[in-house]
Structure 1
Amino acid sequence: MTARLRSRSLRTRLLVFITVVLVCVCAAMALTTVFAQRAYLLGNLDDRVGDAAERGVGGAALHPELTRDLTFLNETGQPAGMLAARLDAEGNILSAAVVGQDTPPHSLTTAQTTALKGITPDGSTHTRTLPGLGTYRVTALDASGIRVLAGLPMDDVLDTIGGLVEVEIGVAAVGLTVAGCVCAVVIRRQLRPLGRVAATAVEVSHAPLGRGQVTGLTRVPERDTDSGSEAGQVGAALNRMIDHVEASLAERQRSEEQVRRSEERMRRFLADASHELRTPLASIAGYAELMNRGTDRIEPGLAWRRVNAESARMRSLVEDLLLLARLDEGRPLQPSEVDMAALVAEAVWDARAAGAGHQWQLELALDEPVLVLGDETRLHQVVANLLANARIHTPPGTTVTATVEATPASCVIRVRDDGPGIPADLLPTVFERFTRADTSRTRAGVLEGGSGLGLAIVSAITTAHGGHIDVQSAPGRTEFTIALPATRLPAADPADAAARPRPASV
């Protein structure tokens, strides 16, 4: 409603302005025409008055001794309404008469004669109003002492000018009306896009920008964004502003969502950490209480072994949490050139010693040593955690294969097993902290299965080294893939490459 009122107000102001301009233009043209026509008609009348005065002087010159003679008015061809007078040396009127319509000339009255006083015989023209006769254009001439005054009525000139003014007023009124209507239609049509732009702006201003999901804000129609017009430029600018506002709000909402999720993860992390720490603490407290009571229900050696085991478990959990905290803070690692083939081979030998019931294989698809710039201890922990994850969550007899491959830009490590696979509902969160598989998939139960931080540590260490990790799982095949940026390798000797062993099993 406000946009409509503003648009209407703008149209009204433009229409008033254009109307005023048109009125001024028409008035200037009318005045110019009237004054030009009046000057032309008066000039023509003055010429006729001068001719009449000259004829009067010529007629009076025939009888110079007759100072009051006006017989020349009786000559044929004198126009009706023409007046003439004889003047003395002081300019006083001696006699004056006017030619009637189809009647002989008759003398002027005293009042009419008085209106003609003060006209000097110098040939200049004057305008005088005579009672009962109207307005006249008069002049007086002096030829060798013969002074004659002549005049012609201005009624025709005044009527012509008056008619011209009336015609121009009528034409101007009609023209202004038509022009006003045309301007109103044109202005309304030209401002219609601006009205739609204003309506769009009002609709956007009513959107709940401060809350909720802000998408799909109204845009100015494409037809109203033509850069060839001012209204189109405004519409295009408004659309760009709306795009910017929508993008900013979406970014703010994403940030708020990330903060909310981060807070949820932190709360869940603290709750899980508290739970994980509470279990070994409860066990330690229970065994300590039994030993303090000196009961025969448990051997002291067994109690101390359980206390030591729970203490080790709690220490491992705290160390894992501290490691994740350091990685989250972005603390620098201790980089050095690490031979990943040797590191993976060592980790496989360690896993074989810990899980003799599994089949362990190592494949090195390399033509030359592959070096990675990183923290050797942490990278070894990554591979060891992946191998331990495969050992813990697969049954005996499962084949676990570790592969090292080299590409021009990265070192790729794969850990593959042919176990039962990761449940589909667990796969999206497998790298989150305190994520555990069902005990049905855990060979040795929850205590043996760990705290659920192993894969989270793998992901955090890999990210800290500038790499990425991925997992694909299906029944019978689970494969973790790690890609780490490799350092520039020295050119290999063809003889060494030919002599280097190919994929091997351990």
Structure 2
Amino acid sequence: MLILLASICATVGIVSHLAMNNYLSAQLDSGLQEAAARSFGPKGPPPNASASPSEPLTGSQPDPLDTRGQRPGTLVALFSDDADIASAVVQTDGTAVALSTADLLLVGQVDPAGGPKELELSSGHYRLQASTAITRDGEVLVTGLSTTERDSILDSLLLATTSVSLAGLGLIGLIGTIMIRRSLRPLDELSAVATTVSTLPLESGEAAIHVRIPPMASEPGTEIGEVGVAFNNMLDHLTRAFAARHASEVKVRQFVADASHELRTPLTSIRGYTELVLLSETLTPSGSAALHRVDSESRRMSALVEDLLLLARLDEGQRGEATSVDLTDLLMETTQDSKVAAQDHGWSLQLPQEPVLVMAVESELRQIIINLLSNAAKHTAAGTHIQVGLAAAQGLATLSVEDNGAGIPQEFLRQIFTRFSRADAARTSNGGNSSGLGLAIVDALAQANHGTIKVTSIPGRTCFMLQLPTV
């Protein structure tokens, strides 16, 4: 807006300056014609006239150098073919002085057919006009008027136009800025609400959105107000959708918890009766193999039910009491157990010299470590080397489980910690009995203990890294 107004002001100023310059120059041209007529009239010999030696002036002859009646600053010069030159410049006191030789050379270059011409002389800037219409043959009369008054008026016009334009632009810029900022203030409110919503934890749980666009920024009838109304309607719709999603999740979790709890009793009975039959009855080889298969699958199903119950308890916030846990001792115990369970893998353990203490639920930390170690052994081929490490720095304890197996596909890494996610096709699965809940439990337990779990994987190197705040 300011650039547009500045362009308009500049255009008006230029047009005004040109119009005024043309008007004042036309007045000077009219004055030049009047000065020429006055200077070449029959007035008798002037008091300070300089006569031409070729033809003395008489009282009845025209005297071109008669400066009586001319305004101060008027220039008169007469050039003849015989190189006789007469000149005069009217002073403020009415006297006349001749032009200097340098000025005469410049004035003599004015062409009668070329119209008015402006020159810078020793006495100032002049607008000159040559004429032969009222002179004798072979003579050229040059009259000139000072442009000081015209230039002063133009400079004053330029100064006034520039000052008024700059003052107007400054005032308009200030008032416009205030008005625009006031009119766009509702957008700041909308931006603040949008920023707040973008930081809310809406991924899961009871994701309620309590912020709204204030009434002053959501009044119908204006463009910004309509945006505010639409934004509030969108937030209301999202709140209802999140509430419905949360209610559905609660129902599903409650069903899983109830179903898992109810399945524990029949599974325990199946395992008990299977063991009883295997111990007390004489069976055929095929019957014995079938019952052993029933016992194996019932144990696998019991483990799955226990995992589901653990996740359900975590979703409901049912946890044990947090205590100070020494990760060094806990890692030594669980790694030793994993060595015995997976003897066909290579194992190494790197621990710091000092104990690493964290505030967490010990059983949950033990579950995290067992799941990570068993996951590394279960999904890698025999002979794979598994390196377990622990370090503490800057208030964080970092536990890492790294193997040199085949690696995990990059597209699966984005969902590796979601429930029932499996990528057995990428890594060797010994037995094919993975439920896809192990890493989901690790992630849930890590978050419950204020920690984070990350994974990086390339062929030949897969590393799970758990970080927990130290005591």
TM-score (norm 1): 0.47
Q: Which has the higher contact order (CA 8 A, sep 6+)?
A: 1
TM-score (norm 2): 0.50
Larger Rg: 1
